[in-house]
Structure 1
Amino acid sequence: MEFNLLQYEVASRVATVTLNRPDKRNALNGQLVAELRQAFARAAAADDVKVIVLKGNGEAFCAGADLEYLQQLQQNTYDENLTDSRELMQLFREIYQLDKVVIAQVEGHAVAGGCGLVTVCDLSYAVPEAMMGYTEVKIGFIPALVAVFLVRKIGEGRARELLLTGRLVTAEKAARDGLITAVVPAGEMKEYVAKVAASLCNDASGNSLKVTKKLIGTVLDLPIQDGLEHAAELNAATRGHEDCKRGIAAFLHKEKLVW
């Protein structure tokens, strides 16, 4: 599997997916969305991958939809646009529901669909200079797909502010609102994200990360009693997993366990 618009590499159980259209500010088009889906599918299936880092080459993380791509969409029929929209929908859903932790390393502006990519990642770190937001309403479009995830992530009130105004916000505000995990100075970003990824790889059970991510993604859809019952069932099932047995044994014997 070859990629033309992104780079894919694996080292120390971390797969790094890098958007590689710097001359287009890593803007999304049909081909890039398809390649992203392929890259995440490869990482999901790889036994030597535990964590995935998503980043971009050049000055921008991702500037949203490519201009030529937007022009083409205007010529599409409703059915063609629905099919195209579902491709991006699938990408967002696959990242959100992936069994492995996905980290966004945001070293430039993340706008519209680019900010959507940040939204569906599990953890996200941005440089202070990065501006983020969903500008769709300013061009007569709507931030439809990302709204489903953003409301879950930061709540209705903050989501309304970002989605209805269409304005870009600083990384500091994005962190305060819960859109991103933290702001990290540009000179420290590479090392910082590498340390987070290494900690996830070495200090946490892969099964525990998978089940916890799944629980977080489903519990809001359930009434509280159903959510608690689902959590109790997952709790019981996890206790019988080999990872839990190893982890408890190491804890009781005061042994350092490297996952």
Structure 2
Amino acid sequence: MNFVQYHTQDRIAYITLNRPGKRNALNEQVVKELKQAFGKAQNDESAKVIVLRATGKVFCAGADLEYLQTLQNNTYEQNLADSSNLKELFEIIYTHPKVVIAQIHGHAIAGGAGLATVCDFSFAVPDAQFGYTEVKIGFIPAIVSVFLLRKIGEGRAKELLLSGDLISAQKALEYGLINEIVPNENLENRVKEFALHLCKSNSAMSMQTTKNMIAQVPTMPISEALSFAAQQNALARQTADCKKGIASFLEKKPLEW
């Protein structure tokens, strides 16, 4: 892979955007490589949690506008295929069986803010800015809107998507877009600390099933959602992880996953 790096350490898979000269802007190749990296992480038995991060000064500046310009003479079908590529990436991250943590060391704009939106947790430095700026260039924040509405609600989503204005990390925290603000010099260690906490404290099966439920339940009628939840509850009781966890608790034995 040319623009994305992948390695594992301490049960953490690190997926790193590495296109600093273009502020880690997204084009067809970058999106393709990100999809490949997340697919690799899914099948990587040495990785329990994923950290998405980037090199350079900017986390991700969104779509590569020079690349978008080359697509303007494409047919609708060609453009649909290209936009479906990004849609698939966001869906892969949002529905990934492993927890995904964004390590945001710089600005996350447009598609970059989209990446932060679909991750399960986001940690950012104080001077990072966030924004869905598509409307300012005559474009639309189409795909990310599906996830942002779920994450922060219609009122906040309208404010961000229709204004296209940048917001500070502090406001992003208040809106629920990110989880924590961390000083620049502590960001890497704090993200690693949190990832290791998840690895050691929680069952991988339990996190996967819970994340899947969070993704599916909001679209269901209440009776269907409750039936689905009851089924998942019953299935979980039969798993090796549940049996191990309950036995350990009752026997007062320390448990590390």
**Structure 2-normalised TM-score?**
0.99
Moved more, 18-27 or 222-231: 222-231
Pick from 64, 67, 71 the counterpart of residue 62 of structure 2: 64
Q: Does 1:251 align with 2:255?
A: no
Residue type at the aligned position of 1:250? S
Residue type at the aligned position of 1:99? P
Structure 1 residue 75: deviation in Å?
Answer: 2.1
Residue type at the aligned position of 2:202? A
Residue 217 (structure 1) aligns with: 215
Residue 198 (structure 1) aligns with: 196
CA distance in 1, matches of 2:182, 2:226: 36
Pick from 67, 80, 83 the counterpart of residue 81 of structure 2: 83
Pick from 170, 174, 177 the counterpart of residue 175 of structure 2: 177
Structure 1 residue 53: deviation in Å?
Answer: 0.3
In the TM superposition, what whole-angstrom CA distance separates every residue of 1:103-130 from its partner, at most 9, and x where no partner exists?
A: 0000000000011011000000010100
Residue 96 (structure 2) aligns with: 98
Residue 208 (structure 1) aligns with: 206
Aligned length: 257
Q: Does 1:124 align with 2:122?
A: yes
Residue type at the aligned position of 1:95? I
CA distance in 2, matches of 1:26, 1:131: 15
CA distance in 1, matches of 2:33, 2:161: 27
Residue 238 (structure 1) aligns with: 236
- 5+ residue gaps, structure 2, are none
CA distance in 2, matches of 1:39, 1:152: 25
CA distance in 1, matches of 2:204, 2:5: 25
Residue type at the aligned position of 1:187? E
Residue 141 (structure 1) aligns with: 139
Structure 1 residue 67: deviation in Å?
Answer: 2.5
Q: Does 1:152 align with 2:161?
A: no
- 5+ residue gaps, structure 1, are none
Residue type at the aligned position of 2:139? F
Structure 1 residue 12: deviation in Å?
Answer: 1.0
Identity of aligned residues (%): 56
Residue 42 (structure 2) aligns with: 44
Structure 1 residue 203: deviation in Å?
Answer: 0.6
Residue type at the aligned position of 1:157? G
Residue 189 (structure 1) aligns with: 187
Pick from 68, 72, 75 the counterpart of residue 74 of structure 1: 72
CA distance in 1, matches of 2:146, 2:252: 44
In the TM superposition, what whole-angstrom CA distance separates every residue of 1:41-66 from its partner, at most 9, and x where no partner exists?
A: 00001111110000110100000011
Residue 33 (structure 2) aligns with: 35
Moved more, 223-232 or 129-138: 223-232
Structure 1 residue 16: deviation in Å?
Answer: 0.3
Segments of 4+ in structure 1 off by > 3 A? none
CA distance in 2, matches of 1:46, 1:16: 12
CA distance in 2, matches of 1:162, 1:255: 48
Residue 53 (structure 2) aligns with: 55
Residue type at the aligned position of 2:173? A
Residue 7 (structure 1) aligns with: 5
CA distance in 1, matches of 2:97, 2:68: 32
CA distance in 2, matches of 1:24, 1:256: 48
CA distance in 2, matches of 1:183, 1:74: 38
CA distance in 1, matches of 2:210, 2:40: 22
Residue type at the aligned position of 1:218? Q
